[in-house]
């Protein structure tokens, strides 16, 4: 994100965070439109020769204004529920640029997607294909589907977000995929238009992607089907701190170009984190500085209900002060939230810039899987979401009132 200090004050795109906090209750999410646009344009440039359909992963950030802004930049949408599909449509994403994925779509969700004529419904089981065929027959329609294959590839990422191993719930394994493709003609009201794959999230090496492309090429040729689309999913990782590895996206683009040339198909990508991850910051206020023996607990008003990634994945997001100080807290420092669980902790430091009760801090790189994973746990209201665009501050989701949840 475009964060920088001016005279000890933290700014986003030349707007003082302190000035934003004057009129908004903490905690709140703060996004940079310029960074969102830059990330999307950079992604498009990496794959310029591939000329893919880029479908933003709505689950990574489902704010309608953000989806809408990405749509204006040329993005489609990857959705995994009826709610996400409705949001994408409300954001003016055209149905023929929407891919509906997910392992457990209900009859109601499928019926809605069929009626809206989305580009593809990516199936994950033969039972799902049977249901889509039945529903389409009732509507006297032919529905375009993609078939998700499980490549048996370890994405070498966090185990909870690895989705391409053979023991995962996602997609059809090799034998089931080949059998389904062979017998697909018995389904008169569906048409196989694509093969789909998604091996995980926060992937920082192109090795697993190369294995997946090699596997896909063999499988596609084995089916004898000329797929119009190949949906390669997303999962591209971002660096959350200086030590994190950066994925070699340029070389991956070359691999995809070679892959595409062998098949003459349209490539679909479903990036989420890569587009939105580093565009957001969670601004929080220090409630108490608690000294316990030789340790300092910095208790802030943001909790795991607002941002659950550290508790859920042991994710480490750098925390920086909104107001710099030359003074230091010397000793072990831990940033924690107000929730009544020991897992409500954000990050530990050995020494930290001095902060006091009322000081503002910024939890960085929270644009993806931040607000979209937030909850009302402990009966706490959802935080506001704010975007800065061309120097203008705009609330894109109002802070929830306690009266709305009791």
**Residues acting as catalytic residues:** 340
- Helical (H) or strand (E) element with 221: helix 207-223
Q: How many whole angstroms separate alpha carbon 196 and alpha carbon 149?
A: 6
Q: Which residues of 62-99 are buried (b: 16+ CB within 10 A; e: fewer)?
A: bbbbbbbbbbeeebbbbbbbbebbebbbebebebebbb
SS3 content of the chain, % helix, strand, coil (to 5): 35, 30, 40
**Residue-by-residue DSSP string for 244-309:** S----HHHHHHHHHHHHHHH--EEEE--SHHHHGGGEEEEEEEEEEEEETTEEEEEES--TTT--H
**Residue-by-residue DSSP string for 32-87:** EHHHHHHHHHHHHHHTTTT--EEEEEGGG---HHHHHHHHHTT-EEEESSHHHHHH
Q: Which two tokens stand for residue 280?
A: 């957001």
Beta bridge partner(s), residue 76: 55
Query: Cβ atoms within 10 A of the Cβ of 185, count?
Result: 8
For residue 45, which phi and psi values (nearest 5 degrees)? -70, -35
- Which of 67, 315, 76, 348 lies closest to 202 in space, CA to CA? 315
For residue 123, which phi and psi values (nearest 5 degrees)? -85, 155
Q: How many whole angstroms separate alpha carbon 57 and alpha carbon 232?
A: 13
DSSP 227: -
For residue 279, which phi and psi values (nearest 5 degrees)? -100, -5
Respond yes or no on whether the N-terminal peptide bond of residue 73 is cis (omega within 30° of 0).
Answer: no
Per the document, the length of the chain is 406
Q: How many whole angstroms separate alpha carbon 349 and alpha carbon 334?
A: 6
């Amino acid at each position: 994100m475009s964060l920088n200090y001016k005279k000890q004050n933290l700014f986003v795109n030349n707007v003082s965070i302190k000035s934003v906090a004057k009129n908004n209750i903490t905690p709140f999410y703060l996004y940079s439109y310029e960074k969102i646009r830059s990330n999307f344009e950079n992604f498009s440039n990496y794959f310029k020769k591939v000329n893919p359909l880029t479908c933003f992963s709505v689950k990574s950030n489902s704010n309608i204004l953000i989806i809408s802004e990405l749509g204006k930049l040329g993005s489609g949408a990857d959705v995994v529920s009826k709610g996400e599909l409705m949001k994408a449509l409300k954001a003016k994403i055209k149905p023929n640029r929407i891919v509906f994925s997910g392992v457990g779509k209900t009859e109601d969700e499928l019926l809605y997607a069929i009626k809206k004529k989305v580009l593809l419904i990516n199936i994950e089981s033969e039972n799902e294909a049977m249901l889509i065929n039945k529903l389409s027959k009732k509507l006297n329609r032919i529905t375009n589907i993609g078939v998700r294959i499980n490549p048996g590839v370890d994405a070498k990422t966090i185990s909870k977000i690895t989705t391409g191993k053979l023991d995962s719930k996602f997609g059809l394994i090799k034998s089931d995929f080949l059998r389904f493709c062979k017998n697909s003609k018995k389904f008169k009201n569906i048409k196989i238009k694509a093969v789909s794959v998604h091996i995980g999230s926060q992937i920082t090496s192109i090795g697993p992607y190369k294995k997946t492309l090699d596997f896909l090429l063999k499988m596609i040729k084995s089916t004898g089907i000329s797929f119009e689309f190949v949906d390669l999913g997303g999962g591209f990782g971002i660096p959350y701190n200086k030590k994190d590895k950066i994925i070699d996206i340029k070389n991956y683009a070359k691999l995809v170009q070679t892959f595409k040339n062998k098949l003459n198909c349209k490539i679909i990508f479903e990036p989420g984190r890569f587009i939105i991850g580093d565009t957001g910051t969670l601004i929080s206020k220090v409630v108490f500085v608690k000294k316990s023996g030789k340790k300092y607990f910095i208790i802030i008003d943001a909790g795991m209900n607002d941002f659950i990634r550290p508790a859920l994945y042991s994710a480490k997001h750098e925390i920086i002060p909104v107001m710099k100080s030359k003074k230091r807290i010397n000793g072990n420092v831990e940033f924690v939230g107000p929730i009544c669980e020991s897992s409500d902790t954000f990050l530990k430091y050995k020494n930290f810039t001095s902060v006091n009760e009322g000081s503002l801090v910024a939890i960085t790189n929270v644009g993806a899987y931040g607000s979209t994973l937030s909850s009302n746990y402990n009966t706490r209201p959802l935080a506001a979401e704010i975007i800065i665009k061309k120097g203008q501050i705009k609330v894109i989701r109002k802070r929830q009132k306690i009266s709305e949840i009791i």
